[in-house]
Chain A
């Protein structure tokens, strides 16, 4: 009986390992298959590169133009993280301010919403008129990224356990102590969740602003490369830059996910290791 149990246990374990392997391998296989079909279509239809370049050509462009694209990648990454940092400071700061003063919250919250719901594509050209290009791009990244941080932090600050806040009251905690030792730690998972959304949005904001700056700008980001290559009908380079842009998004997301994991793994269910 005991033996049979252990046998079954072993089966389950090897089954989960096989499943993990499949989960890692299947997307790669699907991607390879997609590339293959793409390459074959381009070859058999004999499509010219300015209509649709095959993946082989995109990769070779990526390698050939690496110097140019790499510096653009760094520039986009820098803008994205700067936008994200500003969104973090602005979002968390405003949320704390709103949490401490109803008056300020009622006065400003509607405008934070308006800023969020107005499409950034429409704001970007205006910002480009009034601000130096880098500042304008950064402002766009900030506008789209700060709201999820603000909304999530507000939610987090308001979702403190009632008994815990009574306990703080019982021990005569000051406003500052309640904020630092109770509300902010309780809001931490929410803030990190907001940051994960903001990371992707910051990238989108930066890209939109760079595209809007377009040929007029002296930008050097990946989105600017895409716009510029578009004007020159250099389609393979557009694809190569697009590929790097997706890669940037993945890097940002992975960085924020691991930050969240490191900060929460000891105490929050969302990041805790499954029990064995």
Chain B
């Protein structure tokens, strides 16, 4: 893990971000928050609260209608500085697992032979070393998501953005992937912004949770989850976890009623 001083350095800050779509829907209004190095931040809120939009703005896939995104890292703008994991695995069905993981490097002009060590490493990190030659349709939903994560990690991004990546998976697979993602994050000193609508998932994973209001979305509350890492199954069944979940749920309920008022 990085030393405590560098862990506090911000990677990216959002200042008063607003987003109004062409159809007049305001997804975000006055959204400000900061992501610091080595953090696992979750954006928690109901569907349609603009949390995915915020993630897409950080990724540069959408332009804000107001406010600014400030980067504090030299690597920003270079392809591969950001890893993005979509809600669906979003793999190329015509390419093998290894070729899918190769994609970000291929687009940067690095040939398969040269990229191979990185591909092998990324696949090993998500536990799919034996499936390099398989095709996506031959894999289960959870395995496809692992490939998608390996692809996002292969460029060693300074920031990993995940947009409800496990929402479509069954609970058993989701728990397993949550555990593995945390282990990955912990081992690699990765900075992660994770979008979810699950209180339980956000509490289990995050070092900090940003609770968002709905329509227009903005940050309603910030909750630090101080429980020490590594967290595993024991944490999931602890009284501390239950208490934290209750606290976050209450905050989320307040956020919803604040917006209704």
Cα separation A166 to B136 with both chains bound (whole Å): 19
B94 within 8 A of A: yes
Cα separation A172 to B79 with both chains bound (whole Å): 6
- On whether the beta carbons of A168 and B107 are closer than 8 Å, the reply is yes
Question: For residue A173, which residues in chain B have a CB less than 8 angstroms away from its CB?
Answer: 107
B61 within 8 A of A: yes
Pick from A167, A168, A185: contact of B94, CB under 8 Å: A185
Q: A-B contact count, CB below 8 Å?
A: 52
How far, in Å, is B178 (CB) from chain A's closest CB? 22
Question: For residue A167, which residues in chain B have a CB less than 8 angstroms away from its CB?
Answer: 84, 86, 90, 103
- On whether the beta carbons of A185 and B92 are closer than 8 Å, the reply is yes
Question: For residue B84, which residues in chain A have a CB less than 8 angstroms away from its CB?
Answer: 167, 170
In the complex, which residues 76-118 of chain B have their Cβ closer than 8 Å to any Cβ of chain A? 79-80, 82, 84, 86, 88, 90, 92-95, 103-104, 106-108
- On whether the beta carbons of A171 and B104 are closer than 8 Å, the reply is yes
Q: Is the interface of A mostly helix, strand, loop or mixed?
A: helix
B137 within 8 A of A: yes
- On whether the beta carbons of B90 and A181 are closer than 8 Å, the reply is no
- On whether the beta carbons of B90 and A163 are closer than 8 Å, the reply is yes
Cα separation A123 to B121 with both chains bound (whole Å): 61
Question: For residue B93, which residues in chain A have a CB less than 8 angstroms away from its CB?
Answer: 267-268
How far, in Å, is A247 (CB) from chain B's closest CB? 33
Question: For residue B137, which residues in chain A have a CB less than 8 angstroms away from its CB?
Answer: 267, 269, 272
> Contacts A188-B94, A266-B135, A272-B137: A181 and B106 contacting too (C-beta < 8 A)?
yes
Question: For residue A272, which residues in chain B have a CB less than 8 angstroms away from its CB?
Answer: 137
How far, in Å, is B135 (CB) from chain A's closest CB? 5
Identity of the chain B residue whose Cβ is nearest the Cβ of A161 in the assembled complex: B90
- On whether the beta carbons of A170 and B86 are closer than 8 Å, the reply is no
- On whether the beta carbons of B90 and A164 are closer than 8 Å, the reply is yes
A177 within 8 A of B: yes
- Please tell me the size bucket of the interface on A: 20 to 34
Pick from A166, A169, A171, A268: contact of B108, CB under 8 Å: A171
- On whether the beta carbons of A172 and B92 are closer than 8 Å, the reply is no
- On whether the beta carbons of A166 and B94 are closer than 8 Å, the reply is no
Cα separation A166 to B61 with both chains bound (whole Å): 7
Identity of the chain B residue whose Cβ is nearest the Cβ of A268 in the assembled complex: B93
- On whether the beta carbons of B92 and A164 are closer than 8 Å, the reply is yes
B127 within 8 A of A: no
- On whether the beta carbons of B61 and A170 are closer than 8 Å, the reply is yes
Cα separation A114 to B68 with both chains bound (whole Å): 51
B48 within 8 A of A: no
In the complex, which residues 150-179 of chain A have their Cβ closer than 8 Å to any Cβ of chain B? 161, 163-164, 166-173, 177
- On whether the beta carbons of B88 and A163 are closer than 8 Å, the reply is yes
B12 within 8 A of A: no
- On whether the beta carbons of B79 and A171 are closer than 8 Å, the reply is yes
Cα separation A173 to B137 with both chains bound (whole Å): 25
How far, in Å, is A18 (CB) from chain B's closest CB? 30
Cα separation A242 to B250 with both chains bound (whole Å): 80
Cα separation A267 to B82 with both chains bound (whole Å): 28
Identity of the chain B residue whose Cβ is nearest the Cβ of A169 in the assembled complex: B61
> Contacts A163-B86, A267-B135: A170 and B60 contacting too (C-beta < 8 A)?
yes
How far, in Å, is B230 (CB) from chain A's closest CB? 30
B59 within 8 A of A: yes
Cα separation A272 to B108 with both chains bound (whole Å): 32
How far, in Å, is B155 (CB) from chain A's closest CB? 8
- On whether the beta carbons of A170 and B90 are closer than 8 Å, the reply is no
Interface string of B149-186 (1 = CB under 8 A from A): 00000010000000000000000000000000000000
Cα separation A157 to B93 with both chains bound (whole Å): 15
Identity of the chain A residue whose Cβ is nearest the Cβ of B96 in the assembled complex: A266
Question: For residue A185, which residues in chain B have a CB less than 8 angstroms away from its CB?
Answer: 92, 94-95
Question: For residue B82, which residues in chain A have a CB less than 8 angstroms away from its CB?
Answer: 170
Question: For residue B94, which residues in chain A have a CB less than 8 angstroms away from its CB?
Answer: 185-186, 188, 266-268
The 8 closest A-B pairs by CB, nearest first: A172-B79, A163-B90, A171-B107, A267-B93, A185-B94, A163-B86, A173-B107, A267-B94
Contacts A170-B60, A171-B108, A267-B135 aside, 13 further interface pairs with beta carbons under 8 A come to A163-B86, A166-B61, A167-B86, A170-B59, A170-B79, A172-B107, A173-B107, A181-B103, A185-B92, A186-B94, A188-B94, A266-B94, A272-B137
Footprint of A on B, CB under 8 Å?
A: 59-61, 79-80, 82, 84, 86, 88, 90, 92-95, 103-104, 106-108, 135-137, 155
